Amino acid sequence: MAKTKTAYFCQNCGAQFAKWVGQCSSCKQWNTVVEEVVQKETKSSWKQTDTSVKRTAKPLRISEISNDKEVRLNTKDGEFNRVLGGGLVPGSLTLLGGEPGIGKSTLLLQMALKLDLKVLYVSGEESQKQIKMRAERIENNTDNCYILTETKTQHIFKQVAAVTPELVIIDSIQTLHTDYIESAAGSISQIRECTAELIKFAKESNTPVLLVGHITKDGNIAGPKILEHMVDTVLQFEGDRNYVYRILRSLKNRFGSTAELGIYEMFGNGLREVTNPSEVLISNAAGELSGTAISATVEGMRPLLIEIQALVSSAVYGTPQRSATGFNVKRLNMLLAVLEKRAGFKLAAKDVFLNITGGISVDDPAIDLAVIAAILSSNADIPIEKGTCFAAEVGLAGEIRPVQRVDQRILEAEKLGFSTIYVSKANKIGLKHTNLELKLVSKIEDVVGELFG
Ligand code: TYD
Ligand code: MG
């Protein structure tokens, strides 16, 4: 019998130690190191039969490698395809992370039910009956989706061989366990080993595999960081559970851009793609109420108009409060300091609250000018004229800085019926003709003068 070998792993970062330590020297967390059995056996490939003939890969000149365009698998979900960079790549491993209850299982089951391909949906979390109940809630028009409740990888591969699916979905990687390792499901070594087996399966059979991954309370995908290195694509499903909007982002993508963004709306009968995000994210109240401003942002390749709300009120306590949802508080503090210094606003004695509506978060710097406009509008209690939007970054000297893809932002604003857009004077505008009135500004003072002067 093979000698059982054990090692100590940090459950937080996945670092390996030869003996137990109280503090992980790699991530500095206390009490996260546990003993796990790493049983090294000679193991066969995911396909137990095929061990004898092994083709060995030969190095090729890059010009010799055939570049037949990889046929991507259309997931029939426009948003998902976009985030992946045009569909699933055969033989790729995609990890979908997100908080519990955000809708990961719903998203993948819904996709599985929409596809004409043969899909194997393996769940270690819900029974077949429970999945059937979920499937009945959402639109369901295929009979090609097989549901399997199983957590042992060896059994899963046996079923895969029987069903020969064209897409495999695993919900979730943390529930899987393999015979080759003795530690509990969800432990570092189990996750690492199961993922390695799945990768081998995906690459050898050229079947795409979608994995669901849980995230820890600080927002990282549970398990070792190495999991993210092993897979080809890491997607994150996020949003505020109290809002209907869900955002799909890609954090890593070997086959496409990571700047793309997919937006969904959660209904009682599943997720719906939001194809006109700008329209749903803007309320009609803008232009009538003080403290709201519209920003023309770009997320990935897609222009997105979003509404920013600010509330400025007198501070009750000595230290004024600054709070922001969907926007970086540090950036808010910086913008407030710029306003104080360059535009002479006495905001130090005011509480400032900022909110990006729809529960989405934005990190496009072009949102700065709209944030400032919303704050000024709330401070003065004067609404910003209807039909006005903003797209510019604000620098520390109070200068209005140019942003990229300004033409795209202008076109989107025009499409949604806006009449005026504030952009930086330094921005090169390539558009020959636009119905929008372009306000070219270079300093914060110009903006204040134009808006409230
Ligand atoms: P779920 O997919 O189970 O989340 P995850 O797998 O990420 O943990 O989604 C659960 C939530 O979604 C639950 O709070 C109910 C809601 N939901 C709907 O609003 N409509 C639906 O059609 C479904 C299936 C779920
Ligand atoms: Mg789930």
Q: Mean pLDDT throughout 247-265?
A: 86
Q: Which helix (H) or strand (E) holds 296?
A: strand 292-299
- What is the per-residue pLDDT for 344? 80
- Count Cβ atoms within 10 A of the Cβ of residue 16 and give its class: 0-12 exposed, 13-18 middle, 19 or more buried: middle
- What is the per-residue pLDDT for 129? 93
CB of 350 sitting under 6 A from ligand 1:
no
- How confident is the model over 202-244, as pLDDT tens digits? 999 999 999 999 887 666 666 667 788 889 999 989 887 777 8
Q: How far is the CA of 126 from the centre of ligand 2 (A)?
A: 8
Q: How far is the CA of 105 from the centre of ligand 1 (A)?
A: 7
CB of 242 sitting under 6 A from ligand 1:
no
Q: What stretches of 298-394 show up as alpha helix (H) in DSSP?
A: 329-342, 368-380
State whether residue 425 is helix, strand or coil.
coil
Integer distance in angstroms from the first to the last C-alpha of the chain? 85
Q: How far is the CA of 132 from the centre of ligand 1 (A)?
A: 14
CB of 213 sitting under 6 A from ligand 1:
no
CB of 214 sitting under 6 A from ligand 1:
no
Q: Atom 16, ligand 1: which residue's CA is nearest?
A: 103
- Tell me, yes or no, whether 141 and 111 share the same domain: yes
CB of 244 sitting under 6 A from ligand 1:
no
Q: How far is CA 330 from CA 32, 360, 395, 404, in A?
A: 31, 18, 14, 23
**Residue ranges at the known binding site for ATP:** 98-105
Among the candidates 238, 273, 308, a domain finishes at: 273
Work out the pLDDT band at 10, boundaries 50, 70, 90.
confident
CB of 100 sitting under 6 A from ligand 1:
yes
Range scoring the smallest mean pLDDT among 26-35, 277-286, 318-327: 277-286
In a domain, residue 49? The reply is no
Q: How far is the CA of 29 from the centre of ligand 2 (A)?
A: 28
- What is the per-residue pLDDT for 149? 94
Residue of 47, 22, 42 whose CA lies nearest to 33? 22
Atom of ligand 1 at shortest range from CA of 172? 6
- How confident is the model over 135-161, as pLDDT tens digits? 988 877 778 899 999 999 999 999 999
d(CA 224, CA 338): 41
What residue numbers bound the domain in which 199 lies?
74-273
CB of 134 sitting under 6 A from ligand 1:
yes
Is it the case that residue 370 has pLDDT exceeding 90? yes
Q: How far is the CA of 128 from the centre of ligand 2 (A)?
A: 13
- What is the per-residue pLDDT for 2? 55
d(CA 441, CA 342): 15
d(CA 14, CA 64): 39
Structure tokens of 11? 């459950």
Domain count, the chain: 3
Which CATH number goes with the domain that contains 363? 3.30.230.10
CB of 98 sitting under 6 A from ligand 1:
yes
Q: How far is the CA of 352 from the centre of ligand 2 (A)?
A: 37
Q: DSSP states of 186-214 as a string? A: TSHHHHHHHHHHHHHHHHHHT--EEEEEE
Which CATH number goes with the domain that contains 267? 3.40.50.300
- Tell me, yes or no, whether 213 and 313 share the same domain: no
Residue type at 269 in one-letter notation: N
- How confident is the model over 67-92, as pLDDT tens digits? 776 788 999 899 999 999 889 999 99
- Tell me, yes or no, whether 442 and 346 share the same domain: yes
Q: Atom 20, ligand 1: which residue's CA is nearest?
A: 268
**Looking at the DSSP assignment, which residues form a beta bridge with residue 170?**
122, 211
Structure tokens of 440? 């070219």
- How confident is the model over 409-426, as pLDDT tens digits? 998 888 888 899 999 999
Q: Which residues contact 446 (CB under 8 A, 6 or more apart)?
A: 400
Range scoring the smallest mean pLDDT among 64-78, 143-157, 190-204, 273-287: 273-287
Task: Compute the CA torsion angle 270, 83, 275, 113 (nearest 10 deg).
Answer: -30
| Beta strand ranges found along 38-176 (DSSP E) | 93-98, 119-123, 145-149, 167-171
Q: Atom 2, ligand 1: which residue's CA is nearest?
A: 103
Average pLDDT along the chain? 86
- Tell me, yes or no, whether 35 and 103 share the same domain: no
Q: Which ligand is nearest to the CA of 134?
A: 1
- What is the per-residue pLDDT for 45? 56
Q: Give CA 95 to chain center in angstroms.
A: 11
In a domain, residue 223? The reply is yes
In a domain, residue 56? The reply is no
Higher pLDDT, 220 or 299: 299
- How confident is the model over 402-411, as pLDDT tens digits? 999 899 899 8
State whether residue 295 is helix, strand or coil.
strand
Q: Is the dihedral of CA 311, 312, 316, 319 positive or negative?
A: positive
Q: How far is the CA of 212 from the centre of ligand 2 (A)?
A: 8
CB of 124 sitting under 6 A from ligand 1:
no
Contact assessment for residue 383 and residue 312, using Cβ atoms and an 8 Å cutoff: no
- Tell me, yes or no, whether 260 and 304 share the same domain: no
Q: Which residues contact 451 (CB under 8 A, 6 or more apart)?
A: 373, 376, 377, 382, 384, 385
In a domain, residue 220? The reply is yes
Is it the case that residue 3 has pLDDT exceeding 80? no
- Tell me, yes or no, whether 330 and 425 share the same domain: yes
Among the candidates 273, 298, 330, a domain finishes at: 273
Q: Which helix (H) or strand (E) holds 354?
A: strand 350-356
- Tell me, yes or no, whether 89 and 31 share the same domain: no
Edge-to-edge strand list for the sheet holding 16-17: 16-17, 6-10, 33-37
In a domain, residue 69? The reply is no
In a domain, residue 68? The reply is no
Work out the pLDDT band at 52, boundaries 50, 70, 90.
very low
Q: DSSP states of 374-411 as a string? A: HHHHHHHT-PPPTTEEEE-EE-TTSBEEP-S-HHHHHH
Which of 105, 106, 130, 170 for mutating ligand 1's site (highest number of atoms within 8 Å of CB)? 106
Q: Which residues contact 99 (CB under 8 A, 6 or more apart)?
A: 215, 238, 241
d(CA 248, CA 238): 6
CB of 76 sitting under 6 A from ligand 1:
no
CB of 136 sitting under 6 A from ligand 1:
no
Q: Which ligand is nearest to the CA of 102?
A: 1
- What is the per-residue pLDDT for 289? 86
Q: How far is the CA of 334 from the centre of ligand 1 (A)?
A: 38
Q: Which ligand is nearest to the CA of 125?
A: 2
- Tell me, yes or no, whether 284 and 265 share the same domain: no
- Tell me, yes or no, whether 17 and 166 share the same domain: no
In a domain, residue 57? The reply is no
Q: How far is the CA of 222 from the centre of ligand 2 (A)?
A: 14
d(CA 366, CA 406): 10
Residue of 307, 288, 316 whose CA lies nearest to 385? 288
Contact assessment for residue 212 and residue 176, using Cβ atoms and an 8 Å cutoff: no
Q: Which residues contact 12 (CB under 8 A, 6 or more apart)?
A: 24, 27, 29, 32
- Tell me, yes or no, whether 184 and 246 share the same domain: yes
Sequence length of the chain is: 453
**Looking at the DSSP assignment, which residues form a beta bridge with residue 101?**
none
- What is the per-residue pLDDT for 150? 93
- Tell me, yes or no, whether 246 and 177 share the same domain: yes
- Tell me, yes or no, whether 25 and 83 share the same domain: no
Atom of ligand 1 at shortest range from CA of 270? 22
Q: Mean pLDDT throughout 116-134?
A: 92
Among the candidates 273, 293, 308, a domain finishes at: 273
In a domain, residue 37? The reply is yes
Which of 266, 269, 271 for mutating ligand 1's site (highest number of atoms within 8 Å of CB)? 266
Q: Residue 342, Cβ neighbours under 10 Å: how many?
A: 18
d(CA 405, CA 343): 28
